[in-house]
């Protein structure tokens, strides 16, 4: 990312569609066209991993680090590709076009995908592309589909409460349940194939339009996941599989009691002994899906906040150390290209700052954090460097308009006036900060779609530390209009991006 360029942050779920959630169908292609018309180089999304209503639908809390979210499969594309008949994708009721209703969407997509499986059951067994997909993705696909089949078989129970033989993956138990649940396993493989097929076509289309896709890789995985069940040795667990420590972050800007994520922390000694094989597979998989990968909570590769599993907040944690130098030396030798963005937000120790600086990986600068301190604030534009990514805000921030109305103090607004050379108001602040970001010396700028659309706090994506009401915002089809594309194109050209 060593050229002046820019892009837009918009998750797949936020795209318009008649099925209650954004998908990989025609509106995704239309958004690529919008990016091209606006002169943009990058489309940044959030993690594509499966989500769960019981976990607040967060894309950062998934049952698999490698599987993809089948809610994003386009029903219309299934019809077009001959995987289901048109009458198999009819909605029982109109979907909400401005917020994702996850229970509704989950039930609807399950019904559509079930119909697709029944319709395509016979032909997929001889489908060369399906067989090729299963063979190529087999290292994770077999475990994942068995895991989902087992979750269903045991009424959704966590893997730690399964019978001892399959909980511990005894070979005889794996063989027994693989045979018993063969049909369910085949079905899940088919669903993953459908996603992969649609995603590959969309990415190919984007790349042909000179648009690169930036994916997002959460550093941690969920405890009740195929990753921990299949490779428990990679994590700090008790003998019964329960957690020794919970991952999170100490008190910071977002929360006075820190954030207790609940994920298991890695056993870096074991990972190092295996030459980081698990991480190699994960990164290889993500580099195949995306052009560039943003690694969330990058500091966790240097030191990480671990909280005893008996705690209810993240306050009483301690810092653990990870073998950052050895890990990245190994990865850089393993991959010819290593296109990552280091999410380096929050409190950073001097060691972490030094490592990120020496690594050469571009970090992130957030303008909403720029105006609350002195002139040495690293997020202020005059302190930006070329090798960084500038955002007005991220998925964890309020929209710029909402932040200005709800969170910005008089002191912050005074500092903004000083930096901008004009007084910001609720009506102009979004594009003032968009323009400020685009003028930065930084090579890369990414703007959340909500800020381009000048949307308020009701349209923010996530409030950290809260479990409900997040990840729901959707864009209406008329909003990514030709006039907005032209407006952003003019600014992009004016700032030489």
Residue owning tokens 């984007």: 206
State yes or no: pLDDT of 390 exceeds 80: yes
Which residue of the set 343, 344, 451, 456 is catalytic?
A: 343
Rounded CA separation 388/488 (Å): 21
What are the tens digits of pLDDT across the range 196-228? 999 999 999 999 999 999 999 999 999 999 999
Residue 59: phi and psi, rounded to 5, are -70, -5
* Residue 469 pLDDT: 94
Q: How far apart are CA 313 and CA 335, in angstroms?
A: 38
Q: pTM of the prediction?
A: 0.96
Q: Mind giving me the DSSP string for 420-487?
A: HSS---TTTHHHHHHHHHHTSSSSEEEEEHHHHTT--GGG-S--TT--SS-S-B---TTTS-HHHHHH
CATH no. for residue 117?
Answer: 3.20.20.80
How many angstroms separate the CA atoms of 404 and 427, rounded? Answer: 10
Does the residue 27 lie in any domain?
yes
Task: State the total domains in the chain.
Answer: 1
Q: Does 174 reside within a domain?
A: yes
Mean pLDDT of 278-295: 98
Name the E strands within 223-272. Answer: 245-249, 259-260
Give yes or no for a contact between 379 and 345, defined as CB atoms under 8 angstroms apart: no
> Which pLDDT belongs to residue 97?
86
Residues in the chain: 497
Find the radius of gyration of the CA atoms of the chain. Answer: 23
Residue 165 annotated as catalytic = no
Mean pLDDT of the region 380-394: 97
Residue pLDDT, tens place only, 398-454? 999 999 999 999 999 999 999 999 999 999 999 999 999 999 999 999 999 999 999
Q: Is 273 in the active site?
A: no
**Res 258: pLDDT:** 87
List 23, 188, 396, 454, catalytic entry: 396
- The residue segments making up the domain with residue 180 are 5-343+462-476
Give buried/exposed letters for 129-151 (b at 16+ CB in 10 A, else e).
ebeebbeebeebbbbbbbbbbbb
- Residue 453 resides in a domain: no
pLDDT at 441: 98
Give the DSSP letter string of 166-199: HHTT-HHHHHHHHHHTHHHHHHHHHHHHHHHHHH
Among 216, 296, 303, 344, the active-site one is 296
Q: Is residue 102 part of a domain?
A: yes
DSSP state of 348: -
163: in domain = yes
In a domain, 351, yes or no: no
- Structural domain contains residue 370: no
Residue of 255, 246, 252, 316 lying closest to 466 (CA atoms)? 255
Q: How far is CA 281 from CA 82, 249, 278, 293, 427, in A?
A: 32, 26, 5, 14, 47
Distance in angstroms (rounded) separating the CA atoms of residues 489 and 48? 28
Does residue 457 lie within any of the structural domains? no
Instruction: Verify whether residue 343 is a known catalytic residue.
Output: yes
Give the mean model confidence (pLDDT) for residues 97-125. 95
């Amino acid at each position: 990312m060593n050229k002046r360029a820019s892009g837009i942050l918009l998750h797949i779920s936020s795209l318009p569609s008649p099925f209650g959630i954004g998908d990989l169908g025609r509106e995704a292609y239309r958004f690529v066209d919008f990016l091209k018309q606006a002169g943009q180089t990058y489309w940044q999304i959030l993690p594509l991993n499966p989500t769960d209503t019981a976990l607040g639908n967060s894309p950062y809390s998934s049952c698999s680090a490698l599987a993809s979210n089948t809610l994003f499969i386009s029903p219309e594309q299934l019809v077009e590709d001959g995987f289901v008949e048109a009458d198999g994708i009819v909605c029982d009721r109109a979907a909400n076009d401005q917020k994702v209703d996850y229970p509704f969407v989950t039930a609807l997509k399950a019904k559509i995908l079930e119909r697709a499986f029944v319709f395509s059951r016979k032909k997929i067994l001889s489908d060369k592309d399906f067989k090729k997909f299963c063979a190529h993705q087999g290292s994770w696909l077999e475990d994942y589909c068995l895991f989902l089949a087992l979750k269903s078989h045991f009424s959704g129970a966590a893997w730690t409460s399964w019978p001892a033989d399959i909980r511990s993956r005894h070979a005889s138990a794996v063989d027994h349940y693989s045979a018993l649940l063969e049909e369910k396993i085949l079905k899940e493989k088919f669903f993953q194939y459908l996603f992969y097929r649609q995603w590959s076509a969309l990415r190919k289309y984007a790349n042909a339009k000179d648009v690169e896709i930036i994916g997002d890789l959460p550093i941690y995985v969920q405890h009740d996941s195929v990753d921990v069940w299949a490779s428990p040795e990679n994590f700090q667990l008790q003998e019964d599989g329960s957690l020794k420590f919970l991952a999170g972050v100490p008190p910071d800007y977002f929360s006075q009691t820190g954030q207790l994520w609940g994920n298991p922390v890695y056993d870096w000694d074991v990972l190092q002994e295996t030459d980081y094989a698990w991480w190699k597979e994960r990164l290889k998989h993500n580099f195949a899906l995306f052009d560039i990968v943003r690694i969330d909570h990058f500091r966790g590769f240097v030191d990480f906040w671990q909280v005893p599993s008996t705690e209810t907040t993240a306050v009483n944690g301690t810092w653990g150390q990870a073998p950052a130098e050895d890990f990245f030396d190994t990865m850089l030798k393993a991959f010819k290209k290593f296109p990552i963005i280091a999410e380096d937000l929050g409190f950073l120790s001097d060691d972490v700052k030094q490592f990120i600086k020496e690594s050469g990986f571009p970090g992130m600068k957030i303008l909403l954090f720029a105006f609350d301190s002195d002139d040495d604030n690293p997020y202020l534009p005059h302190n930006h460097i070329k090798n960084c990514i500038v955002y007005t805000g991220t998925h964890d921030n309020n929209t710029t308009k909402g932040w200005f109305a709800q969170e910005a103090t008089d002191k912050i607004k005074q500092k903004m006036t000083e930096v901008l050379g004009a007084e910001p108001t609720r009506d102009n602040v979004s594009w003032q900060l968009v323009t400020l970001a685009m003028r930065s010396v930084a090579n890369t700028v990414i703007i959340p779609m909500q800020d381009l659309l000048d949307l308020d706090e009701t349209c923010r994506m996530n409030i950290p530390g809260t479990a409900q009401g997040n990840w729901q915002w959707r864009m209406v089809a008329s909003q990514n209009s030709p006039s907005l594309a032209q407006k952003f194109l003019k600014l992009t050209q004016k700032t030489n991006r």
